[in-house]
Amino acid sequence: MKKNKIKNTSIILFFIFFIIFILSIYLKIVINEKNKIEKLLNQIKISEIKNNNSLNENFYEDNKLLIQDLNNKFNNIINQLNNLEEILKQEFNKIIYLRLLLIIFIIIFNIFLIYNTYQNKKLKKYKLNIYKKIKETNEFKKEFENGLKNKEFKLYVQPRYDTQTEKIIAGEILVRWNKNNKIIYPNEFIKKLEQNNLIGKLDLYLLNETCKKLEEWGNKNKIKISINQSQKNILNKDYINEIKKIINKYNFNKELLEIELTEDIFIENKEKVKLLEKELHALNIKIAIDDFGTGYSSYNLLDEIEIDVLKLDKKLFDNLENKKTKIIISAIIQMTKELKIKSVAEGIENKSQVEFLKKIGCNEIQGYYYSRPKEIDVFEKEIR
Ligand code: C2E
Ligand code: CA
Ligand code: CA
């Protein structure tokens, strides 16, 4: 509607401009004609009539009054024509200015029109993007809910090995999304779930499935299982109550269950984390700090909060040729021993890393060197 209005206005303005243009040409022609007449009149000078004509003196004398009258009339006409020329010139100038103004106006108007069209397009694109995002988010939420209902989220386990005996003593639960027979890895959906406040639902579902398995494995089972919990919910009281409910629903040795929390959770919420620690320890559940060494590595939290396990991040071991890195890792392991915290090295891919970890006395190793994450049923067969 708005666009059409602008278009119509622009056409009307164009026509006004066109009419003024025609009018000005017409005026120019009039002025030219007037100039021609004036020139002609100037040629017929009365004095010349008087001197050059072939009529005799008597004729002039006889018609003196008439000739004078005629002369006066000619002069009058010339004066009037002069006046008319002046008026026409002024009008003509006015029209020129008007035309100039109109051209400027049309240019500005067109610039405005182009700018407006560009802005409209941008706004339309922006609205379309938002609409697309909302649609995508809604679709994602629906897919997720369906996925949960259809049990598309699968529990994989990556074994953790005792450094000295090289035997499996624990495992970390890692989720995979089996969507239309295609395996999707957590890096592709965990962040999205966090952004849409859905991660809690998944983490609680996985916790429930894990506890169910631990109950199934029975009292003879000695393998510890750790599970990731997104820091988005874990400090929320209602969420902790949900965890409690799930854990109490199943019968298993609670000391075998570890909850992995990334170290950044401890930075801003020390008091809340202290409460969480008390709640989890009251249930006999263990607490692990995940990805240690990638963030702030706030060592001071170790003396304020009772931590059971410290999982050293893969990045720490990527640069083991560096002497200083070795010294730092040795110092961390020494510290965990004195604080009676279990140490787990993550992302271990080669023998020299394993040998170094054996030498410094790290408790457990997790990494592709020993095993990639595997389906929980496969893991179950191995530990039996
Ligand atoms: P994470 O907790 O640090 O898990 C370890 C990740 O490192 C896993 O990736 C594992 O496959 C990978 N990894 C293990 N050993 C090696 C190795 O030797 N070399 C290399 N290059 N990688 C190794 P994954 O399974 O893709 O999980 C990625 C992250 O997704 C996890 O990092 C965790 O933060 C998150 N995640 C996975 N499952 C869950 C879950 O159930 N809930 C929540 N909240 N987060 C999860
Ligand atoms: Ca983890
Ligand atoms: Ca980790």
Residue-averaged pLDDT of the chain: 89
Residue 261 parent element (H or E): strand 257-262
pLDDT tens by residue, 212-259: 999 999 999 999 999 999 988 988 999 999 999 999 999 999 999 999
For residue 331, report the phi and psi dihedrals to the nearest 5 degrees. -65, -40
* pLDDT of the residue at 246: 97
The closest residue, in CA terms, to atom 38 on ligand 1 is 174
Over residues 10-19, the pLDDT tens digits come to: 777 777 778 7
In a mutational test of the pocket of ligand 1, which residue from 228, 265, 289, 317 has the highest number of ligand atoms less than 8 Å from its CB?
228
Residues 6+ apart with CB under 8 A from 356: 320, 326, 329
Asked whether 295 lines ligand 1 (CB < 6 A), one says no
Cβ atoms within 10 A of the Cβ of 310, count? 24
CA 29 / ligand 2 centre spacing (Å): 92
For the CA of 174, the nearest atom of ligand 1: 38
Binned at pLDDT 50, 70 and 90, residue 71 comes out as: confident
Ligand 1 atom closest to Cα of 203? 42
Whether the CB of 206 sits within 6 Å of ligand 1? yes
232-237 LR contacts (CB < 8 Å, sep 24+): 232/194, 232/197, 232/199, 232/200, 233/199, 233/200, 233/203, 234/259, 234/261, 234/265, 234/276, 235/265, 235/269, 235/272, 235/273, 235/276
Is the model's pLDDT at 167 over the cut of 60? yes
Beta bridge partners of 172: 158, 226
188, 190, 233, 315: which to mutate for ligand 1, most atoms within 8 A of CB? 190
pTM: 0.76
Which residue's alpha carbon is nearest to atom 25 within ligand 1? Answer: 174
Q: Tell me: pLDDT of 37 over 80.
A: no
Q: Return the closest-CA partner of residue 207 out of 253, 257, 279, 252.
A: 257
Which residues make beta-bridge pairs with 226? 172, 258
Give CA separation, 271 vs 70, 235, 241, in Å. 117, 10, 18
Residue ID of nearest Cα to ligand 1 atom 34:
228
Name residue, tokens 């994450």. 373
Q: Whose CA is nearest to atom 19 of ligand 1?
A: 347
Distance, CA of 263 to CA of 305 (rounded, Å): 12
198 in contact with ligand 1, CB cutoff 6 A: no
Helix or strand or coil: residue 232? coil
- Would you state the pLDDT for residue 53? 54
In the prediction, which pLDDT does 56 show? 57
Alpha carbon 213 to chain centroid distance? 41
Res. 351: pLDDT tops 80: yes
For ligand 1, say whether the CB of 187 is within 6 Å of any of its atoms: yes
Distance, C-alpha 369 to centroid of its chain: 38
Number of Cβ within 10 Å of residue 60's Cβ equals 14
Rounded-to-integer distance, Cα 372 and Cα 381, Å: 15
